[in-house]
Structure 1
């Protein structure tokens, strides 16, 4: 018999665990990548926050700097006018024209572009093609001074890399009148030569500026709060002291006179004796300032009356005589024994044959007969010793030439370049007696016709040296007028009495020299010729090359106008002053008397 059944044995139970099953290898890798992504995203968000919030202003400024371009707005240049009666006439105006340019980088077919441009411009396509194919820069100028009509036709072609740029150009309503006085404006917009250069700062104004946000192609956006515009300030207008009618007649008379004497070149000026104002001034040959770039010789741009000093010859006697009179060493009626030669420093100074040899001469004879030895004698008297040009004589004469007559230094006239001329030092150098003796009749020194005219005016107006000027007034954009007042640089150059004495001597000289027609008796006309041999750079002087000069005046009881004439290498023999310069002076004097209200004598 079986006993009771026992329950089946079971394994002891295990305690329960909270640990998760370990992930597989793939799960572990995913976890790592998720962590990395979250970390990167956190960095990105932090960086974005840094850039957009913390560094927002900085990067906005950087973006603006890339998009914000600065453009210069050209200022309109002031115009230049001349006086005409009670009014004014423009000599130089502005005209908006265009420059045609090419950027070769954007031109795929140079020949095709050149052909199309040439068809509009009426020029040779070969020239344009050469410029495009051989550029020195990416900005290649093909033409200047395009009209509005030409600009439109070029723009209609829509040629890649070809465009136009507006630019103000100078125009000249009176053609080449007073060209060397005026000067011109070069392609960089700068005044060159003449008044344009001397008064460039006054004329050019102040350029404006435009700071503008641009699009992707660099075109300014019309509306942006970041745009800044500073408007340009227009330059000031210049009203010259030149009289239009007088200038025209002077140029015609000068041209005719130079042609008649077959002169290489020459010039003439008319100055008011009482204030230094230049009423007319011209040189030949001249040029057209509207096409100045066609000239290959830059010398034609110079105003030789102020920029080219020369040995002035015997017109210097109109300065030597009043110096001796003012020193009191002679009087107008003084007579002396002229030896017709002086020997100084081993060299001989003589006169031309027409003087007639030794004899008793007067101070008026020295001027009228142009006695070189007489001028030297006057210089000797200034030192108190006949036969010697002493230290005292040289120092006194140097004082008159440099300090009173203001030779050897610029006058300050409003021209781009002015020469100083040269006056020898009284105690430096060699052969000083000979050198200073020569200066008394216009050799061994140089001066410009303007310097001589200004010095003579100072003597004849009673003793006041006025700075020569070409400016009557300056007018700003609002119409405010600034009158140019006469600038007296020195008074007491010589005494008024000496001025009257020289005036009488110069009148006598004109009365005893031949002119084409006599001057009216109720007007005062005086003058002096000068002829100087041209210096040879190798030393000495040419025997057959001469310059002629003339200085004189027109007026009544008072001298009203001073005239200076220069004639270079005329074909009239060795008397260039009387043969070539004097006829021009005579015609100018008659012109002034007939047409420009010269006040006659009161009795």
Structure 2
């Protein structure tokens, strides 16, 4: 009997020990390791969703109102989580029937084992979204995505840019201000059921609400923009040119009132474009050798340095031999003779521009002449570097180094009349604005308000040229307009000045094509003071005559009359 009791006690002790081990293990698992195993249990059921933020809208001026130029349109992305899909063929058939997709492709996507997220379709409508949800298909989800809507169609397309399928701004202001426009996405971390559908009432759900992006208000006048686009296209057609640019800025702030290029595109259907070059705003991204419009800048620098005066005259030999090359003029200039600065601009005399550059060096294109001219081009007129305008892919342009390089006398002689250098139409507009407004260079800008922040005009440099130089250059440019042909003349009560440019196109093999030219025109419109600066570019016109005078000048004339007739140009007071 005692041995039997001992056996019972032993077994009882073993039982107690087992129970104690089990209780201890349960305590360890449920209390000490509770958070770990709970997280493990939730891992397959806990999914994180991004809640898209409303992208900021883009607005612009239309008369006295501010109107929407770009809005949001909510569409939907259809996706699959292959881990939750049980009946792949049936699910693929149903989802593709609603979305208009390919059942075989959907089925292949749903059988993938290397991912838990496969996009099946994009840009689904609200109706399609509701139909998908009604089917309650395990592993099939729908996600809202903001796409852009353009109530003004393709107006100002290259200024605006577009938003790609990933929600990222590309080109234009959409790219430049992508962060501000995007806002901050929200977050939903939710426990899901066996179908992958979030359980709304779960205490384990975490939600962070999205923060909407900032709206933009542009400096553009939409009425002016529409007319500029029409004028440029009509002018290019008449000149038999396939591409070109035009822009209008306020010279007293460098606010861009209108800017356009041809060809253009529809930003709502950017994905249909085969040539990505059309997305670029060529007025800011495509520099060119500007031709004789550069003579305005050369003359301004020489006059400001005091090496010429308004009444200066000089003997022009009609040719310069520099670095084994000869610089000459167009036939209409004639041979050698005494010339004035007025004639250099009016007749567009290349050798006269070179002569003015020589005066910066005491009579030759030496290091002093090159460095002084370089200082004006780069540090005063701000060429050779991006302006900072709110656009994607702005180009720097090119100004040659004044000290290091090959054939520097010839190179710098060429820059005096707009060859061997490159600038964008916007750079030339901002430089001319600084010359004719009295000498202040303002940073060109397209955006006047970001959210609640109002942006003020930014003066980059004052004293670009003296007030007296500004006044004299305006007078010379007005004279040039008065002596050149326009289908419709300008009234004496308005101040209209300008300068043509015809530039040979550089050959990739070196040198220049003999029969390929670009035409340019820079000018201003105003009364007692300039109110608008205009720049026109026409690429390779196929008409007779000079590209500047024959192709770009008529477009300038139409733009100037449009501004006088419709956009508040104040006549001269006397």
State the TM-score bracket (shorter-chain normalisation): over 0.9
Structure 1 pair 519–119 and aligned structure 2 pair: CA distance change class (3 A) = farther
- 2: distance between equivalents of 1:125 and 1:223? 35
- 2: distance between equivalents of 1:389 and 1:139? 67
Report 1:93-104 matches (<5 A).
93-102=71-80
Deviation, 1:256, is: 1.0
Report 1:171-570 matches (<5 A).
171-385=149-363, 388-475=364-451, 481-570=452-541
- 2: distance between equivalents of 1:510 and 1:569? 23
Deviates more, 1:144-153 or 1:506-515: 144-153
Question: Which residue is 1:17 aligned to?
Answer: none
Of 584, 588, 593, 2:564 maps to 593
- 2: distance between equivalents of 1:441 and 1:552? 16
Deviates more, 1:173-182 or 1:131-140: 131-140
Q: Deviations over 1:259-296 (max 9, x none)?
A: 22121211111000000100001111111111111112
SS of 1:548's equivalent in the other structure is: strand
Deviates more, 1:556-565 or 1:137-146: 137-146
What root-mean-square deviation, in Å, do the aligned CA atoms of Structure 1 and Structure 2 show?
A: 2.6
- 2: distance between equivalents of 1:151 and 1:262? 49
8 Å contact from structure 2 (residues 320, 351) kept in 1: yes
- 2: distance between equivalents of 1:580 and 1:506? 19
8 Å contact from structure 1 (residues 546, 574) kept in 2: no
SS of 1:245's equivalent in the other structure is: helix
8 Å contact from structure 1 (residues 531, 574) kept in 2: no
Q: Deviations over 1:272-331 (max 9, x none)?
A: 000010000111111111111111211111001101111111110110001001011111
Which structure has the larger Rg? 1
Deviates more, 1:367-376 or 1:128-137: 128-137
Deviation, 1:108, is: 5.2
Q: Deviations over 1:117-154 (max 9, x none)?
A: 66555677787678778999664444322221232344
Structure 1 pair 116–253 and aligned structure 2 pair: CA distance change class (3 A) = farther
- 2: distance between equivalents of 1:101 and 1:218? 12
Deviation, 1:580, is: 1.3
SS of 1:408's equivalent in the other structure is: coil
Structure 1 residues without counterparts, runs of 5 or longer: 1-19, 476-480
| Number of aligned positions between the proteins | 573
Deviates more, 1:206-215 or 1:499-508: 206-215
